[in-house]
Amino acid sequence: MTDIDVIIVGAGPSGLMLAGELRLAGVRSLVLERQSQPRDTPKASGIGGRILDLLRYRGILDRFEAASSDPNVAPRFPFGNMHLDFTHLADPPLRALPLPQLEIERLLDDRARELGADIRRGHEVVGMSQDDAAVTADVRGPDGPYRVTARYLVGCDGGRSRVRDMAEIAFPGTTYPEVNRLGQVTVADSVTVLGNGDIEVPGLGRIRAGFTRTDRGVFAFAITSGILSLQTTEDESTEYDDDEPLTLTELAESARRVLGADLPMGEPIRLSRYTFKDRQAERYRDRRVMLAGDAAHLLPATGTALNVGMLDAVNLAWKLGADIHGWAPTGLLDTYHHERHFAGARALLQTRAQVALRRGHDRAAEALRQVFQELIMDEPALRRMGALVAHADIRYPMPGSDHHALAGTFAPDLTLHTDQGVTSVAELMHTARPILLDLTDRPDLREIGRDWQHRIDIRTAKTDNRPADALLIRPDAHIAWAATIDEPTDTAALALREALSGWFGAPDQP
């Protein structure tokens, strides 16, 4: 007998997202967080890319937009000490929502609790064991030690994951000898802001907005609404404690080393420091223990890790729910590793490319940066890079062969015309239920779906420029199967049955 269905270790964005998604799947979850209060040390400063679509598909994106300081921020993003600029595109492939990580965690915590998740802060997992039936966590809480047993345990406890270590999962990779310091400060009286966004600094002269590379490091800044946002990057092998806050003095000294003179700074608004690591767990699953978020991967660039980690949680939750409710087909939980390890590798690909672009100091590196900057002046290349950074180019490998081009991709948000009125794919996904979406009134396909009607929703609708005759959409909003337009009945029926059985188990008993 277990105490709970799933133990989640860590109440960061990945753990809290997982807690909410598990509740949507009807799973009892317990979040154990060693910190007694949410950390106020500045970390991530926003979310972006595919996770924004997913939040919209769950019907909660408006909460995050309401909390953002600028929900319509210009789509221009740093990439390897350069920029991907989508401001001239009517439909940019990448957008972001400025929002401090502390606020992101608060919103996800509120959502998980609304759905019934049990979140305990000040409870540290100090030991763990597992067998064929359950996993047991030894916990040190405010009232003393205790044990809790669950069907599964998920480590969402960060880059220094104790869960990963206890499960003896290797975490190979590289730690780069560089330190990045970020600050938002008011503009000092002695600094002149020029009309084009550059600044004039006594003793330094004019500094162009964007990135300035010296032989001592990189300095970058931008001015928005009278606030100076700046960053320094220096080669340094110092190991900093993540909980040790950056001070204004440390930031100013770093800027002086990089620029060669003092940069006056006003009052600090936000200060943070981070180093870059390039690591990925060899496996995301060890029997009844899983990893998600930074416990599974560390990415050597900003603006990606938090988003990828939350998407790990969405992929895992419904599969755990299927297993716990007893209808998961053989191997379903293993697809979590296969799919998200693949997705993590894609995230590592683009962040490693940023390492190559930003760390080189010789003429060959300068040539690489120049060529890259020229390439992304072309719209197709710029869009491709945007999709890569947004995590929107993922097409999960599907079992079998001869798949529709949409299989494995994120379901497009089609406008749907039904007998009850107009809706959309996003609205249908609010409850995180699988959907068989019939777009051409195919009763033969709906009849097959009825054998799984206790596990999937069956919907009929019409849409303009339909991409397929029908779509089978998983709870994580990825397409498990699609019928080619005007595909013969026998061919489509056989493929649909295989997809339903492969993802959602044996048909319901009559």
Q: For 56-69, how does the pLDDT look when each residue is reduced to its tens digit (9 = 90+)?
A: 999 999 999 999 98
Question: Does residue 196 surpass a pLDDT of 80?
Answer: yes
3-state secondary structure of 369: helix
SS3 16: helix
Residue 2 has pLDDT above 80, yes or no: no
Task: Say whether pLDDT at 39 is over 80.
Answer: no
Mean pLDDT of 177-186: 89
pLDDT, average across residues 52-56 = 98
Question: At residue 332, does pLDDT exceed 70?
Answer: yes
pLDDT score of 224: 80
- Which tens digit of pLDDT belongs to each residue from 421-475? 999 999 999 999 999 999 999 999 999 999 999 999 999 999 999 999 999 999 9
Residue 40 pLDDT exceeds 90: no
Confidence tier at 400 by pLDDT (50, 70, 90): confident
Dig out the tokens for 239 from the structure. Answer: 């190991």
What is the pLDDT at residue 17? 98
Q: When comparing pLDDT for 318 and 80, which is higher?
A: 318
Question: What is the predicted pLDDT for the residue at 508?
Answer: 82
32 φψ region: left (φ > 0), alpha (ψ -120 to 50), beta (else): beta
Whether residue 281 has pLDDT greater than 70: yes
CB 208 within 8 A of CB 218: no
Query: Residue 225 above 90 pLDDT?
Result: no
How large is the average pLDDT for residues 277-283?
Answer: 96
Q: Is the pTM of this model over 0.85?
A: yes
Taking 70 as the threshold, does the pLDDT of residue 38 lie above it? Answer: yes
- Residue 458: CB partners within 8 Å, gap ≥ 6? 435, 436, 438, 446, 449, 450
Q: So what's the pLDDT on residue 462?
A: 97
Q: What is the pLDDT of residue 510?
A: 62
Q: What percent of the chain has pLDDT over 70?
A: 98
The whole-number average pLDDT for the span 205-216 is 88
Which segment of 4-18, 237-251, 403-417 scores lowest on mean pLDDT?
A: 237-251
Domains of the chain and any CATH numbers: 4-171+281-356 (3.50.50.60), 173-278 (3.30.70.2450), 415-504 (3.40.30.120)
Q: Where are the beta strands (DSSP E) in 309-465?
A: 415-418, 421-424, 435-438, 457-460
Mean per-residue pLDDT for 294-298?
97
Q: What is the mean pLDDT of residues 292-319?
A: 95
Q: What's the rounded mean pLDDT across residues 322-347?
A: 97
Examine the pLDDT at 270 and tell me if it is beyond 90.
no
- Residue 469's CB: how many other CB atoms inside 10 A? 20
Q: For the chain, what is the mean pLDDT?
A: 93
d(CA 206, CA 130): 61
pLDDT in tens, 116-147: 999 999 999 999 999 999 999 999 999 999 99
Distance from C-alpha of 202 to C-alpha of 191, rounded to nearest angstrom: 7
